[in-house]
Structure 1
Amino acid sequence: MQGLQGFLRPILVIAPAFGLVLGFGMRFAGSGQRSGMVWALATLPVLVALLIEIVVSLRRGDVGLDIVAALSMTGALAFGEYLAAVVVALMYAGGQYLESFAERRANREMTALLARVPRVAIRHRNGRLEEVGLEAIAPGDCLLVRQGDVVPVDGLVDSGVAILDQSALTGESIPVRKKASEPVMSGVTNAGDAFDLTATRRAAESTYAGVVRLIEAAQRSKAPMARLADRYAMAFLALTVALAGGAWLWSGDPIRALAVLVIATPCPLILAVPVAIVSGVSRAAKAGVLVKGGRALEGLTRVTGLVIDKTGTLTHGQARLVEILPVAAMSSDRILQLAASLDQASKHVIAQALVAEARDRGLDLLPPTEVVEIPGEGLEGIVDGRRVAVGGVRYVSQRVPRIAQTVSENRRPSGAVIVAVAVDGEEAGILILADPLRMEAARVIDTLRRLGIARIVLATGDRREVAQAVTVGLHLDEVHAELTPDRKIAIVQDEKRYGPVMMIGDGVNDAPALAAADVGVAMGARGAAASAEAADVVLLVDQLDKLPAAVLAARRSRHIALQSVYAGLGLSVIGMIAAGLGLLTPVQGALIQEAIDVAVILNALRALWGPEPS
């Protein structure tokens, strides 16, 4: 019944449940002769829906355990065993509803695919600004890109300076500065003041649209995993038919065959697996991890390789102050206080990072006055009666020439940003900002290796020297840098030679690779909507160490599901043999199957609890 619309599933559970209660009520009221008709009518909706699904599945070449349930319901109705029929219908519909509930629970918090894609743009036309749809933009159009806007199409900076956050596409956590006539990719974010862009491509031909197409292609090419229950379908179906047919031929009594079919209805599979899945999904959700259903949960148990992004995944994805180098007789906190106080007047992303750092350190920020800013270069003003200049080395060295030499004499980390500070015409200090490794990164990688992830590689769009510097000390097998989205897909496909692959990322550029991996994991707290939608698993909190907990929960859930399946099927086979020998009637078989169902459900619920990874 997987192909049925979601709104039909509750009806298919309610019908046999209501019919079962109504039939017993009629018996107690003295109208027992009509109870069989009520049970039969209550069974029919489930049986019809099941037969439709079986036909659709057979056309696709899929053979599942649904056939056993259909045979038992059909046989029970044919031989007048209506109570057995409605019990089987209720158990089957309930199990299917539980399975769909697991997926609905996982997906309800997802945003629409590519929610950050701009739908409109601001275009200059005849001396005025007009809002137009992306499809109306043609090469040569001049567009206004406001602060915070996502660039809608590929183009060239028309005039001025553009400060762009390219982390979603390239993995570079530090904003880049683009001058007039320099190219800009669609999908990047304007982190500075508004600027004009001359379109060079239509929206459908731009970089961001290409990433979208890669995501869609990767999702189409990704082979779906079979349901855990269906893996046992052929063997169990053959055993059931053999025992039922043998019982009929040996005894000449078709009721014995029906009793075998009823007790063979694979409710331990139909119920235990989805209950364990729901429990595993809930367990992972408590740890801050959203697992999108049973296929994703089972995928987590099978992966042996990991491809991991750098920016926003191994690192925080934002520039942070990592060091202060005082030059004059001024304390580090005083330098930061003066610089951050002045930066309150700037919207630049680096300025805001310094302001945030000062506040985190509990420094009192003073109001700046007489502020003059050159966008993308730096700013100058009065703070606490002192003239302060903060900005790039070139900007500050125009006021204090010695600062350039001081910077050259101090080594900076690869990929770091240098902010120079001058006070009253004298050099004061140097602030170094970088995107540092997460504190938990090394521990998470080591924990995943203990959980069976044998091969771990880095795949980033950032520069090679930055990637190599950041990952020093991590137990990685390979480091791949300066990758485009299609190259990330190639890395994922290549790693599949060693076994099922998990990919972790957060940006738009990671989304195609997430879709192509056996299991895609997105950093959903701060990552792009595209990566969250393309992924199978989403970390809802900005902590990488939540992933081992999800892997452990998935493996425990699968172990408990298989345990329930083996125990339930073993008991079912014993009951089938007893039914074939004439020791059980169809109704007794249905009741025994009910007891087995309760046992496997209670066992499957143990997946809600479990140990934390060490």
Structure 2
Amino acid sequence: MSGAIAFLRSGQGLLVVAIAVALAAGLVLSALGRPELATFAYRAGTAAVLATLVVSIIASLRRGQFGLDIVAALAMAGALAVGENLAAAVVALMYAGGQALESYADGRAKREMTALLARAPRTAVRHRGAELETVDIEVIRPGDRLMIRRGDVLPVDGTIAGGRALIDTAAVTGESLPRHVADGAPVMSGTTNVGDVFTLLATRPASESTYAGIVRLVRDAIEGRAPMARLADRFALGFLAATVILAVAAWAISGDPVRAVAVLVVATPCPLILAVPVAIVAGLSRAAGRGVLVKGGGALEALARVRVIVLDKTGTLTHGEARLADIEVFEGFDPDEVLRLAASLDQASPHVVARALIAAATERGLALATPEAATEAPGEGVDGIVEGRRVRVGGRAYVLSALADGQTAPMRPLPAGVGVVVSVAVDGRLAGRILLADGIRDGTEALLARLRGLGMRRIVLATGDRADIAEAVAGGLGFDEIHAGLTPEGKIAVIAAARASGPVLMVGDGVNDAPALVAADVGIAMGVRGAAASAEAADAVLLSDSLDGLADGIAIAKRARQIALQSVVAGIALSVAGMLAAAAGYLPPLQGALLQEAIDVAVILNALRALR
């Protein structure tokens, strides 16, 4: 009901109602034998629509925009001039209704994207000593403690403080199921608390948080215009000229001006001016719903045409963080115990490797002890007491320096793909070493196969990592090329070489990937954990920490472009056929008007298929 009221209050809604009332009144008056009053009703209603259209055309011409609405204006004016008043009223109603339908279709296509904007929180509940206060999110600063109630959208990025939380990330990442987040773990703004009340410790101001960045990207995407839509505008003059020439020729050959009006009436501009933007915006909306935020129609069309994909490794093909690969122990030591002691001591260190050991121990359900007398040698390791035992964790040289006299550590070859080795000594004895690697994301092999099925001619790995690690991680996945040890300039060179096989898509996540994302025909950034620079440089952002959305985004882009082209080809073909029939005298103005709008409605509804 509220949507209907809003429609009636809008300018388009009032115009549709006005011409519909005028047309209905004219038909009733004609049936009652009052043709002069019926003619007045038809002409008055048409004049209202025509006046609005002329004002719009003049405004467009002043902006240097030449649109196809001129054809509709000529059709109405011509029908009034030759006395085809009913046909003029039908054209006016269908034109006004078509504009309203376009507005509805465009709004429906943008619904999922604008929903992100509508969900943006404006206020938050902040702890102030023992009291609570409601504040605008703009005043929130890192370190503030916020109360997040059930159903609240997280206003800023932060960490869980005190207990666990149940978070629904669907609006941001597309994940269908809520997930439990442990105490101290990071959470993103824009996600929703679907569990009990918890405290959020803000780590970023609202303006720099994940959701604020997504909102900015959404606005950019909504405002973007597709090249095909601009192409339609450039064809406007040619289409108008062809229509006028055919209309004048029909009049000159037959001597009947009504034939010229019929040609103008049936010449529908909607397949170009409506179908393309509706299909493209529908594709943008559909992609956003699958966690792929494309920055505008131009980027979506470019994504549909890519034939080569260049993937970064760290953080893109892999998780971007060290994970436990294996534990090698010496006689007398148990693997889980070595990991537990090392992780317990590493609780005293903020190092990224320390966090990896703690996470591995937690995943195995190992109970960590509190370290005592812990001292850290920056860049080397940590030494301290765990449950009364002297433990040293770190690099090989650092740990060997704590061994008893005469004790040695055999050098064993590292397994393929291992990037970090952590040595562990307990009570002056070498206990073992913990091997860490950055493994590939689950489902990567299936993803690459799906990309092949979407028409990718070449899939290339480009990484700054060592060649042996790159080969170990990706050697069996079927990449056409693997380039390792690359600088940012090196990645740009790889993209330039790959362009010989077709338009290139680059996927990356780090600051060092930003130049390559710009150099590629289409750049896609990993937006959840990726660097802000890469997200800004990219044409699209994957909102989930997964590559699954990559294939979805390409498939959606291809389908949206295909549907847009289908609508244009079918609509123009039907319009040309109708124009020729009208020129030959087989299609009077009234029937031509009805045919025109049937085509318009059909192409718009076809364009909306891109939402599915």
Q: Give the alignment of 1:212-223 within 5 angstroms.
A: none
Deviation at 1:431, TM superposition (A): 0.8
Residue 259 of structure 2 aligns with an amino acid whose one-letter code is: R
Report what 2:14 is aligned to: 18
Q: 2:260 aligns with which of 250, 257, 261?
A: 257
Report what 1:87 is aligned to: 94
* Greater mean alpha carbon deviation, residues 42-51 or residues 417-426: 42-51
Q: CA separation in 1, counterparts of 2:247 and 2:416?
A: 73
Report what 2:535 is aligned to: 532
* Greater mean alpha carbon deviation, residues 446-455 or residues 79-88: 79-88
Q: Give the alignment of 1:308-319 within 5 angstroms.
A: 308-319=311-322
* CA pair 273-476 structure 1, distance change in 2 beyond 3 A: same
Q: CA separation in 1, counterparts of 2:113 and 2:450?
A: 25
Q: Give the alignment of 1:444-455 within 5 angstroms.
A: 444-455=447-458
Q: CA separation in 2, counterparts of 1:101 and 1:531?
A: 30
Deviation at 1:79, TM superposition (A): 5.3
User: Do 2:492 and 2:515's aligned partners in 1 also have CA atoms closer than 8 Å?
Assistant: yes
Q: CA separation in 1, counterparts of 2:229 and 2:368?
A: 58
Give the CA RMSD over aligned residues: 3.6
User: Do 1:419 and 1:431's aligned partners in 2 also have CA atoms closer than 8 Å?
Assistant: yes
Deviation at 1:102, TM superposition (A): 5.8
SS in 1 for 2:390: strand
Q: Give the alignment of 1:412-423 within 5 angstroms.
A: 412-413=415-416, 416-423=419-426
Residue 563 of structure 1 aligns with an amino acid whose one-letter code is: Q
User: Do 1:377 and 1:392's aligned partners in 2 also have CA atoms closer than 8 Å?
Assistant: yes
Q: Does 1:290 align with 2:293?
A: yes
Q: Give the alignment of 1:388-537 within 5 angstroms.
A: 388-400=391-403, 406=409, 408-413=411-416, 416-537=419-540
TM-score w.r.t. length of structure 1: 0.69
Residue 25 of structure 1 aligns with an amino acid whose one-letter code is: V
Deviation at 1:557, TM superposition (A): 2.6
Q: Give the alignment of 1:85-234 within 5 angstroms.
A: 85=92, 87-88=94-95, 91=98, 95=102, 225-227=227-229, 230=232
Q: CA separation in 2, counterparts of 1:240 and 1:577?
A: 10
Report what 2:275 is aligned to: 272
SS in 1 for 2:20: helix
Q: Does 1:300 align with 2:307?
A: no
* CA pair 49-506 structure 1, distance change in 2 beyond 3 A: farther
What are the superposed Cα offsets for residues 466-496 of structure 1, whole Å, 9 maximum, x if unpaired?
3333321132232333333344333323322
Report what 1:327 is aligned to: 330
* CA pair 454-228 structure 1, distance change in 2 beyond 3 A: farther
User: Do 2:19 and 2:49's aligned partners in 1 also have CA atoms closer than 8 Å?
Assistant: no
User: Do 2:226 and 2:280's aligned partners in 1 also have CA atoms closer than 8 Å?
Assistant: no
What are the superposed Cα offsets for residues 272-322 of structure 1, whole Å, 9 maximum, x if unpaired?
323332333333334322233332232222211112211111111111121
Q: CA separation in 1, counterparts of 2:50 and 2:467?
A: 64
Q: CA separation in 2, counterparts of 1:267 and 1:410?
A: 68
User: Do 1:243 and 1:260's aligned partners in 2 also have CA atoms closer than 8 Å?
Assistant: yes
Deviation at 1:341, TM superposition (A): 1.5
What are the superposed Cα offsets for residues 543-585 of structure 1, whole Å, 9 maximum, x if unpaired?
1132222222222333333333333223222322233234445
SS in 1 for 2:411: helix
Q: CA separation in 1, counterparts of 2:258 and 2:407?
A: 95
Residue 273 of structure 1 aligns with an amino acid whose one-letter code is: V
Q: 2:568 aligns with which of 550, 565, 568?
A: 565
What are the superposed Cα offsets for residues 133-184 of structure 1, whole Å, 9 maximum, x if unpaired?
xxxxxxxxxxxxxxxxxxxxxxxxxxxxxxxxxxxxxxxxxxxxxxxxxxxx
Deviation at 1:524, TM superposition (A): 1.5
* CA pair 252-525 structure 1, distance change in 2 beyond 3 A: farther
User: Do 1:257 and 1:580's aligned partners in 2 also have CA atoms closer than 8 Å?
Assistant: yes
Q: CA separation in 2, counterparts of 1:96 and 1:73?
A: 19
* CA pair 497-43 structure 1, distance change in 2 beyond 3 A: farther
Deviation at 1:350, TM superposition (A): 0.9
Q: 1:543 aligns with which of 533, 537, 546?
A: 546
Unaligned runs of 5+ in 2: 1-5, 30-36, 81-87, 118-224
SS in 2 for 1:409: coil
Report what 1:576 is aligned to: 579
* CA pair 317-546 structure 1, distance change in 2 beyond 3 A: same
Residue 244 of structure 1 aligns with an amino acid whose one-letter code is: A
Report what 1:371 is aligned to: 374
SS in 2 for 1:282: helix
Deviation at 1:57, TM superposition (A): 5.6
Q: CA separation in 2, counterparts of 1:347 and 1:546?
A: 33
Deviation at 1:454, TM superposition (A): 0.7
Q: CA separation in 2, counterparts of 1:364 and 1:471?
A: 35
Give the length in aligned residue pairs. Answer: 482
Q: Does 1:73 align with 2:81?
A: no
Q: CA separation in 1, counterparts of 2:114 and 2:487?
A: 29
SS in 2 for 1:379: strand
